[in-house]
Amino acid sequence: MEPCHSRRGVFVSSSKSSLSVLTLGAIGVVYGDIGTSVLYAFKEVFVSGHVPVTTENILGVLSLFFWTLTLIVSLKYVVLIMRADNVGEGGLMALLALASQSVKDYPRLRSVLLMVGVFGVALFFGDGVITPAISVLSAVEGLEVITPNAKPYVVPISLAVLVMLFAVQRRGTGDIGKFFGPITVVWFIAIAVMGAIQVIQNPMVLKAIWPGYAFAFAGANYGVAFITLGAVFLCVTGAEALYADMGHFGKTPIRLAWFGLVMPSLMLNYFGQGALVLANPKAAENPFYLMMPDWALLPMVVLATAATVIASQALITGAFSATKQTIQLGFLPRLSILHTSIHDTGQIYIPAVNWLLLAGVVAAVSLFGSSSALAAAYGISVSLVMVITTLLTFYVVRYGWGYPLWLCIAATGFFVIVDLFFFASNSLKIVQGGWFPLAMAVVLYLILMTWRDGRVLLNEKLRADAIDLPAFLDAVFVSPPVRVDGTAVFLTAEAGTVPNAMLHNLKHNKVLHANNLFVTVQHHEVPWIGLDKRIEIEPLGHDCWQVVVHYGFKNDPDLPIALHLLRGRGCDLDDMTTSYFLSRDIVIPTIGGGMMPWREKLFAQMHHNASGAAAFLKLPNNAVVELGSKIEI
């Protein structure tokens, strides 16, 4: 049973040890993705051949890296976006729910924001395919530096690592998760040391901290500089994890980890790569591995592979959590969700999502074949997600917090312009590979919106055919049927209406239980709803009650536990004598009205394949009765 009001994973103690543990955990989970960008980001600026390897260009590019990390991560995410928490929770789904609540008095605007936010969620899942593929590929490509003969084996080895990663998901990450933080700390220390050695040998690269070098580079090569922004942007891919995982670790540990270890390590490594290329322009083909001494190459390939696996694991886990939230917000059908830990309700495994992600990752690795080719596909989805995040934040600041318009524009306008520049630069790569995540996002967006619109149509049909519950009970008890011992729990989509399961039960069995609960489960656009607000009960007479059960989109639904809260309120349930009656609706697409025919057929198929409500609500298998009916939409 969950606490009355808690944020999963965030029990911030004043003790230094607790803060240290949370900070260590944040390093392992939050910063794996952005921490492995050093493997390919700086290389991609020069590998295309657009940017000549000159002193001025190297300093200009390093300045762009420094200020991109400073503006987007340190200022935008750490200072601004992390303030927009939804009862302590972050991430695009939490922000979408918060923005939606903020503009609830503006229905048209709310509808547009929902569409934009849902497309951002679809882009996030595309990112879940690209990130593991490019990260692991870039790590394994270090074998080519050791020996060119390894090149034919890079893709097979990468695929083997990724397949093993997805294959072990069903076992959970509890046992190995404790090692994520320490391994990632070792990774950041290693890249910092390797970078510092190069910087000490060529300290002039530190001049790039001055922003004038970035402006000089852009002024002298404005066309090339615009193209280069797409590669520079790779250094901040993964920054959205700071916000997404805020609910797990809290703001302070994430900020401490960023300013205390992660950002200094990243900057030392990027500046070290720049120092190496200044000394040896040919090193631009793979500066990360070429700045290693020979004895360190193989250990670094192993450490890099471990770091990229951890980064991929964090994103896969995030995809599972985002899927669960998307289901509870009504944009996906119920899916089979397995809990991999008896202690942490947040550790879940969704088989359908796991294998779909693996299929996408295998397709990406096989189709593109190298980290450089995948880099073209990577930036566009992440940059568009950042644009959407900033726009949603504006509406939270303006309508949710009530700040003046000029201040809201000042707070978010600058970041919107920066995000749009990066997105525009990445858009130039649509033909080279950017189409891949966009195509995945469009397909998923159509699925998400089809399910939501289909549910609206289905509920409208059910509402049109609904019978008022109090009036129906009054009519039934004029000449009451036989009453049998026990309690019947009838699930109904809308409170106050007669569930089809009850109609069928009366028609076929001609009996009524001694106690009858008419239960409606409602999911809300807040992450958590405590047990003190979990349940509402209204007596209907004749030992019948209307019950409404409330869940936030991060709560773990468990209806039997929720109904135990009724004890002492006039309705005590005995598990041994309680039966749950559910309606299993079969959707029949019809021509005319509603959605386009192909969308209605898609919705009907999704509805048919959806996981049963019994499993989703954790109802006991031996106490569930399902009664079906056909509904035309």
* pLDDT for position 344: 58
Give the pLDDT confidence of 305-325 residue by residue, as tens digits: 999 988 888 888 888 888 888
In a domain, 564, yes or no: yes
* pLDDT for position 535: 92
In a domain, 609, yes or no: yes
Q: What is the DSSP letter of 106?
A: -
Domain that holds residue 120: 16-453
* pLDDT for position 174: 57
Residue segments in the chain with a per-residue pLDDT below the cut of 70: 1-17, 172-177, 341-346, 593
* pLDDT for position 569: 78
In a domain, 507, yes or no: yes
In a domain, 11, yes or no: no
Query: In the chain, how many domains are there?
Result: 2
- Classify 202 as helix, strand or coil: coil
CA distance 248 to 345: 12
In a domain, 177, yes or no: yes
Which one, of 221, 477, 198, 185, lies nearest residue 306 by Cα? 185
**Are 409 and 508 part of one and the same domain?**
no
**Are 443 and 474 part of one and the same domain?**
no
**Are 415 and 533 part of one and the same domain?**
no
In a domain, 198, yes or no: yes
**Are 480 and 449 part of one and the same domain?**
no
In a domain, 2, yes or no: no
CB 236, CB 73: distance < 8 Å: yes
> Which residue, of 433, 453, 473, is where some domain finishes?
453
**Are 489 and 616 part of one and the same domain?**
yes
* pLDDT for position 153: 92
* pLDDT for position 177: 64
> Which residue, of 453, 473, 499, is where some domain finishes?
453
**Are 391 and 480 part of one and the same domain?**
no
**Are 449 and 491 part of one and the same domain?**
no
**Are 291 and 378 part of one and the same domain?**
yes
**Are 425 and 565 part of one and the same domain?**
no
In a domain, 354, yes or no: yes
**Are 393 and 487 part of one and the same domain?**
no
Percent with pLDDT over 90 in the chain:
45
> Which residue, of 453, 477, 506, is where some domain finishes?
453
> How many CB atoms sit inside 10 A of residue 126's CB?
27
* pLDDT for position 2: 39
**Are 264 and 299 part of one and the same domain?**
yes
**Are 230 and 270 part of one and the same domain?**
yes
- CATH code for the domain in which residue 205 is found: 1.20.1740.10
Per-residue burial over 208-240, b = 16 or more CB atoms within 10 Å of its CB, e = otherwise: beeeebbebbbeebeeebebbbbbbbbbbbbbb
